[in-house]
Chain A
Amino acid sequence: MHPSLSKLPIGGLKLSSELVQIRLLPNSGFSVQEMFRRLADQRINVTMVSMDATDGELTGIGCIFAEDRVLAEVALQPLEAAIDMLSPIGALTIFPHQARLLLIENILSAMGRDGLPVYGMASSHSALTLTTDYRRLDDAVSAVCRVVSLPENHAPFRPEFRVKQL
């Protein structure tokens, strides 16, 4: 088998609960600070952020838990024209990625081949998080598991509890 077709070992795969992806639109006239401040005032956790200023002002995405959506809509009402919300979103976190381009390439290729959307990505030094359609999260796991190998006795896991800051 060609090396690029071999399954690449990873340490684990974590799935999120249902999320909403908030996008601050390019050159909307509102700052990302204002968006973050309004969400923080309502104690809404933004679980993943991917923003860049390649279009001028910082623009991009942040994910919140689905149950915070109504509160977020109220908090962001003054920014209504500057944002859009996409749901239902699910996040898939692969760890560790170890900066392996082949791993990222194979994951994106597998998702693309199966017609699975990737709405956003954010990595850290250890983990790579992708957002996709929450209704197709199991399909995304199947696609990713075609190109990665998990440790023995490890299955992709969903959080069984959530810590929420008061």
Chain B
Amino acid sequence: METFAVYWEPIIKTYGIAERTGLCLISLDLPFDRLSDGGACLPDIVSRFGGSLILIFSRPASPAGLRLNLLLDRPPENVDRVEKVDAVEKKAQSAQPMDMNHADFGGVCSGLRVDNPVELVYFQGPHYGDRYGIAGAAVTALAEHGVPLLAVVCTGASVYLITPKGMACAARNALKEAFSTPEAAKNPTNS
């Protein structure tokens, strides 16, 4: 049972491209067989960095687990705290990465990595969940402009691109060249 639809757009439309800066990306490994315990660790991890959750995403990681990524915002009052935790983690990683991380998260998670600060560019568009080529167009646009990516997350009609610090504006400009935005549609000479 299928419905076929035909889209033709000279440029892929978006409902607008937004960005956020001053975020924190936490990555860690969770064994498949400790999923239940890993779920219970999430509040500890997030409270430790003093932020609130924006995105959660994961993918399989060797040898038998998930690489779990949490994108957190950093309220201004917690920026110092995140940077202090970040510094401790970097020190810990160079010294005793596994033991330190296991101890801190009840022996469940390992391989903690903190990218801080990072930035986010995101957009939605019509029927993106049913269309091919959207994520590829976004990733290609950034690659062509030399904008590095830390992560790509798509679900439903939403596309999220996480970049290192200072790159969100360049990412947004690259996307504005590759995609149509409502502002560009209103002012075609400005696009």
**B136 engages A108 (CB within 8 Å):** no
**B56 engages A121 (CB within 8 Å):** yes
The stretch from B59-67, B96-104, B169-177, B180-188 touching chain A is: B59-67
Q: How far is the CA of A120 from the CA of B46 in the complex (A)?
A: 20
A81 at the interface (CB under 8 A from B): no
Residues in chain B near residue A129, CB distance under 8 A: 155-156
A107 at the interface (CB under 8 A from B): yes
Residues in chain B near residue A155, CB distance under 8 A: none
Among A112, A160, A161, A166, the one with the most B-chain Cβ atoms within 10 Å of its Cβ is: A112
**A36 engages B56 (CB within 8 Å):** no
Interface size on A, residues (CB 8 A): 61
**B53 engages A99 (CB within 8 Å):** yes
**B35 engages A112 (CB within 8 Å):** yes
Residues in chain B near residue A40, CB distance under 8 A: 132-133, 136-137
B93 at the interface (CB under 8 A from A): no
In chain A, residues 13-47, which have Cβ atoms closer than 8 Å to a Cβ of chain B?
23, 26, 31-33, 36-37, 39-40, 43-47
B interface SS class: mixed
Pick 16 A–B contacts, CB within 8 A, sort by A.
A51-B151, A52-B27, A53-B151, A58-B151, A102-B43, A105-B43, A108-B42, A109-B35, A112-B38, A117-B32, A122-B153, A123-B57, A127-B156, A128-B56, A165-B6, A166-B6
Q: How far is the CB of B71 from chain A (nearest CB, A)?
A: 9
Among B35, B38, B42, B60, the one with the most A-chain Cβ atoms within 10 Å of its Cβ is: B60
Residues A109 and B36 in contact in the complex (CB < 8 Å), given A52-B69, A93-B156: yes
B2 at the interface (CB under 8 A from A): yes
**B42 engages A104 (CB within 8 Å):** yes
Residues in chain A near residue B58, CB distance under 8 A: 50, 118, 120-121
Q: How far is the CA of A102 from the CA of B150 in the complex (A)?
A: 26
Q: Give a binary string over B31-47; 1 marks a CB under 8 Å from any A CB, 0 the rest.
A: 01011111110110010
Residues in chain A near residue B133, CB distance under 8 A: 36, 40, 43
**A112 engages B5 (CB within 8 Å):** no
**B154 engages A122 (CB within 8 Å):** yes
A interface with B by C-beta (< 8 Å): 23, 26, 31-33, 36-37, 39-40, 43-55, 58-62, 93, 99, 101-102, 104-113, 117-129, 160-166
Q: Give a binary string over B95-128; 1 marks a CB under 8 Å from any A CB, 0 the rest.
A: 0000000000000000001000000000000010
Known: A50-B59, A101-B42. 8 other contacts (CB 8 A): A33-B139, A40-B132, A51-B59, A99-B53, A104-B39, A108-B39, A162-B130, A166-B6
**B59 engages A59 (CB within 8 Å):** yes
Residues in chain B near residue A43, CB distance under 8 A: 132-133
Residues A58 and B152 in contact in the complex (CB < 8 Å), given A36-B140, A120-B59, A165-B130: yes
Q: How far is the CA of A44 from the CA of B158 in the complex (A)?
A: 17
B135 at the interface (CB under 8 A from A): yes
In chain B, residues 1-47, which have Cβ atoms closer than 8 Å to a Cβ of chain A?
1-7, 27, 32, 34-40, 42-43, 46
Residues A49 and B153 in contact in the complex (CB < 8 Å), given A37-B140, A40-B132: yes
Q: Which 5 A-B pairs have the closest CB atoms?
A: A36-B136, A112-B36, A108-B39, A112-B35, A40-B133
**B155 engages A165 (CB within 8 Å):** no
